Structure 1
Amino acid sequence: MNILLIGSGGREHALAWALSASPLCDRLLVAPGNPGTAACGRNVALDVADHGAVVAFCREQAIGLVVVGPEGPLVAGLVDDLTAAGIRAFGPSRAAAQLEGSKAYTKELCREAGIPTAAFARFTEAEPARAHVRALGAPIVVKADGLAAGKGVVVAMSVEEAEAAIEAMLGGSLGEAGAELVIEECLVGEEASFFALCDGTHAVPLASAQDHKRVFDGDRGPNTGGMGAYSPAPAMTPELEARTMREIVEPTLRAMRARGTPYAGVLYAGLMLTESGPKLIEYNCRFGDPETQVLMPRLAGDPVEMLLAACEGRLAGYEVRWRPEAALTVVMAARGYPGPVAKGSTIGGIEAAGAVEGVTVFQAGTALVDGRLVANGGRVLNVTATGATIAEAQSRAYAAVDRIDWPEGFCRRDIGWRAVGAAGPGEASHRAG
């Protein structure tokens, strides 16, 4: 069948890499894609915000399946419009995507369904929010309610830092995303990313992963969209996975179905593994980034068949198969990230890096200019390696990183430290939204 993949980042390159290898995929089109996805299929200049244009394109190209990568088009209802036009699409409806589109929505659902999560309060005005923070003290977490491209969460280690975040968000620094705030207790424990494939009624667990949100080694510096990840996450034992499905994922599916907004697609639960068990930090309504870059290399089954089963309500009894190898990805970012970055610096050594055993370099924020591969964003490359162990995957990934010629880029040098026992910081704090 012909498949249209929506998106342009490292997640989409990893998905394109996996989808294009499926015997069910005749043609893969990626809108808009990047130089990396062009090696897996054909990039197309399509305005994905124009749902009518996407529908027309799918009809012209006889698209049998649309896979929506990023959250923006999901929250905007692209799947609804495709479905209404009779075009099969993988991802949640606009109503179901509120699980990511509104943190307040998710917190209220957790309260109603008894899903373990951090205690919270909601605010639309600064003074009551400041008073709440002063009453509780720090550390405390300030979140913008809406989509903020990974910049909507501040883990404040002081009351002053929390008040500054409140002023900035409600003052318009994040636009409409910050019109309402959710202020939460700061959970203590180890973070993990847990993914489940859902068809509206049934959920099937996918592999676990653990990402690194802080920008610098030792989990220091501001939160980012993710500086690296590995899979599987040793902290997510089979017992914890079963408990997460039973206490968090399945009650969410029941609650969404009861609301008349069944959830179909990938449900990505950001978890804190506390002393009292797993607690939900937040939901994402799509494959994670950079977690997808370590999940796809470990997937042993056919990714197209897996996504079709979710679209068609066939997940009861479905089993997703995984390779026993571990995978680890290192994000190379432009200097200055997560703040402003300069675009246009030349990147060399991609082929040399990819020649390291077990390594695939997924491109994220890249572009081709006059035949040169250049940086075109904050997070630019995802250097991904597989290995018999996480330690071996880590060694291969950094060997590949060292072959990349990009003086204007940087990366963390400790991705995977928890799993390989390297010296590192204490407990994780919180994740970016």
Structure 2
Amino acid sequence: MKILVVGKGGREHALISAFNDSATDTELYCFPGSDAISEIAECVEVDGLEALIDWMCLNNIDLCVAGEESYLVKGEGLANLCEKAGIPCWGPHKQSAQLEASKEFAKEFMKRHNIPTGDATGCADIEEARAAINGVYPAVLKFDGLAAGKGVAVCPDEATAEEFLQEVMVERRFGDGRLLVEECLIGPEVSVFAAVVDDQYLIFTPARDYKRALDGDHGPNTGGMGAVASRQLVSEELLNRIEAEIVKPTVDGLVKDGLPYRGFIYFGLMITEAGPKIIEYNCRFGDPECQAVMPIVGGDLAAFCEAGAKGDLKSELLAFSEGWSVCLVRASAGYPESSRSGDVISGLEEVDDSARVYHAGTRKNAEGQWETNGGRVLAVVAGGSDRESAVEAAYAQLEKVSFDGMQSRTDIGTFNF
């Protein structure tokens, strides 16, 4: 089976590794890919989505998998273009991917289908945003569009809110777009993923990610400094409630609204005193949650995604470990405000075979050494039968990998437990 994955980061490295481990014989490609991905998949060099579609047709690609979210809504949309060309695509159509591309669209969808979430007000400019906050803190401020996981701020006071408003609504850090002022929900966060095929779905292993840069959930917001995944993360009773109140109504709502969906969907949830409420949707696997979840997904992911892209949800093709998986991120100097490239990475060859290393912001230099090339550089993932042993195993392997200016949290898998 010829599979092309769209993206270049740690999530795509994890997905391609999982396809490579599948029972189905696969021939793997990636666009645009990376030096690390090129070790298990051929990286495709074309200019733009239309050229990529042409390349896939010429090379008889059997399945296109959307990793990175931006391609789902760029131009006509990856899945839309694939459908026109007759290429099965594991990823939703552009109109359906608005659930992630526009937080205001998503909030209206949630309200329309009575899916539990916090109240929110959409704002066109900074004055409307100030009025919507109305002196109530903490205030949750969200840029409406895609922002690589950095367009959200939980502001404890007026000063931090004003700083974010200036950055988003005046300086336009993320480009033109509206802003949502949301009710601040309180409770532990849980990430739930599902594979959706039209009106059917399969829930994957739940996860929890850590967005703040520093221990104890302090410091600036990041794209994610680590994650844990396990079936034991939430009780069976709570997972059943999440399915009944959030997952199923979302899938039913997509069908009712005529929004075609075949692919992964992420439910970012807050477990409040009133029960689970959804914070946001992502129309693909999360990052770095994907890196934590993939090692405990067994079976044939390649065959599963191909069947799903063709409209057949074959749950029997997958199995899920009952253990724990812990993902630890090494970030570069300056992250998240900036990133530093060119720092040589050492110790990768010392990581045990029982663990996995997924590259996100790395490259090979002229001497063939791995070096930093981005904010979140790589993730080290290890597992165990219980949370404590998985955390210990992951940190033992992470200690072997180092580079100048590296940043990591020391409490992934222990904080909020």
TM > 0.5 fold call: yes
Unaligned runs of 5+ in 1: 422-433
Aligned partner (choices 394, 401, 421) of residue 391 of structure 2: 394
Give yes or no for the alignment of 1:206 onto 2:204.
yes
Structure-1 separation of matches of 2:409 and 2:11: 19
Match of 2:65?
A: 67
Match of 2:14?
A: 14
Read off the aligned partner of 1:87 and give its amino acid letter: I
Read off the aligned partner of 2:14 and give its amino acid letter: A
Cα RMSD for the two superposed structures: 1.6
Structure-2 separation of matches of 1:124 and 1:170: 9
- What does 1:297-308 correspond to in 2, within 5 Å? 297-308=295-306
- What does 1:420-431 correspond to in 2, within 5 Å? none
Give yes or no for the alignment of 1:363 onto 2:341.
no
- Kindly indicate whether the alpha-carbon contact (under 8 Å) linking 1:383 and 1:400 is maintained by their aligned counterparts in 2: yes
Aligned partner (choices 196, 220, 223) of residue 222 of structure 1: 220
Read off the aligned partner of 1:163 and give its amino acid letter: E
Read off the aligned partner of 1:260 and give its amino acid letter: G
Displacement of 1:43 in angstroms is: 2.1
Read off the aligned partner of 1:132 and give its amino acid letter: A
TM-score between the two structures when normalised by the length of structure 2: 0.96
Displacement of 1:258 in angstroms is: 1.8
Which string of whole-angstrom CA distances, capped at 9 and with x for unpartnered residues, describes residues 273-311 of structure 1?
011111000000001100111111001121012212321
Displacement of 1:233 in angstroms is: 6.2
Displacement of 1:235 in angstroms is: 4.3
Aligned partner (choices 177, 190, 215) of residue 188 of structure 2: 190
Displacement of 1:407 in angstroms is: 2.3
Q: What SS class does the counterpart of residue 96 from structure 1 fall into?
A: coil
- Kindly indicate whether the alpha-carbon contact (under 8 Å) linking 2:17 and 2:40 is maintained by their aligned counterparts in 1: yes
Structure-2 separation of matches of 1:404 and 1:51: 36
Match of 1:91?
A: 91
**Greater displacement, 196-205 / 251-260:** 251-260
Displacement of 1:392 in angstroms is: 1.3
TM-score between the two structures when normalised by the length of structure 1: 0.92
Q: What SS class does the counterpart of residue 82 from structure 1 fall into?
A: helix
Q: What SS class does the counterpart of residue 409 from structure 1 fall into?
A: coil
Match of 1:105?
A: 105
Displacement of 1:220 in angstroms is: 0.5
- Kindly indicate whether the alpha-carbon contact (under 8 Å) linking 1:19 and 1:25 is maintained by their aligned counterparts in 2: no
Match of 1:25?
A: 25
- Kindly indicate whether the alpha-carbon contact (under 8 Å) linking 1:5 and 1:31 is maintained by their aligned counterparts in 2: yes
Displacement of 1:320 in angstroms is: 3.7
Structure-2 separation of matches of 1:120 and 1:405: 43
Match of 2:319?
A: 321
Unaligned runs of 5+ in 2: none
Aligned partner (choices 263, 266, 269) of residue 265 of structure 1: 263
- Kindly indicate whether the alpha-carbon contact (under 8 Å) linking 1:202 and 1:316 is maintained by their aligned counterparts in 2: no
Q: What SS class does the counterpart of residue 100 from structure 1 fall into?
A: helix
Match of 2:284?
A: 286
Which string of whole-angstrom CA distances, capped at 9 and with x for unpartnered residues, describes residues 215-267 of structure 1?
00111001111100011164421112111111112111222222221322111
Match of 2:116?
A: 116
Displacement of 1:173 in angstroms is: 2.7
Give yes or no for the alignment of 1:375 onto 2:396.
no
- Kindly indicate whether the alpha-carbon contact (under 8 Å) linking 1:364 and 1:381 is maintained by their aligned counterparts in 2: yes
Q: 1:313 to 1:273 in 2, by over 3 A?
A: same
- Kindly indicate whether the alpha-carbon contact (under 8 Å) linking 1:210 and 1:232 is maintained by their aligned counterparts in 2: no
- What does 1:35-46 correspond to in 2, within 5 Å? 35-46=35-46
Q: Among the aligned pairs, what percent are the same residue?
A: 39
Displacement of 1:408 in angstroms is: 2.1
Q: What SS class does the counterpart of residue 417 from structure 1 fall into?
A: coil
**Greater displacement, 3-12 / 167-176:** 167-176
- What does 1:231-250 correspond to in 2, within 5 Å? 231-232=229-230, 234-250=232-248
Match of 1:138?
A: 137
Match of 1:425?
A: none
Q: What SS class does the counterpart of residue 346 from structure 2 fall into?
A: coil
Displacement of 1:37 in angstroms is: 1.5
Structure-2 separation of matches of 1:22 and 1:377: 29
Displacement of 1:393 in angstroms is: 1.6
Structure-2 separation of matches of 1:317 and 1:381: 31
Q: What SS class does the counterpart of residue 403 from structure 2 fall into?
A: coil
Which aligned segments of 4 or more residues in structure 1 are displaced greater than 6 angstroms? none
Q: What SS class does the counterpart of residue 220 from structure 2 fall into?
A: strand
Which string of whole-angstrom CA distances, capped at 9 and with x for unpartnered residues, describes residues 90-127 of structure 1?
10000000000000000011111111001110100211
Q: 1:87 to 1:317 in 2, by over 3 A?
A: closer
Structure-2 separation of matches of 1:90 and 1:314: 12
Read off the aligned partner of 1:16 and give its amino acid letter: I
Structure-2 separation of matches of 1:197 and 1:317: 9
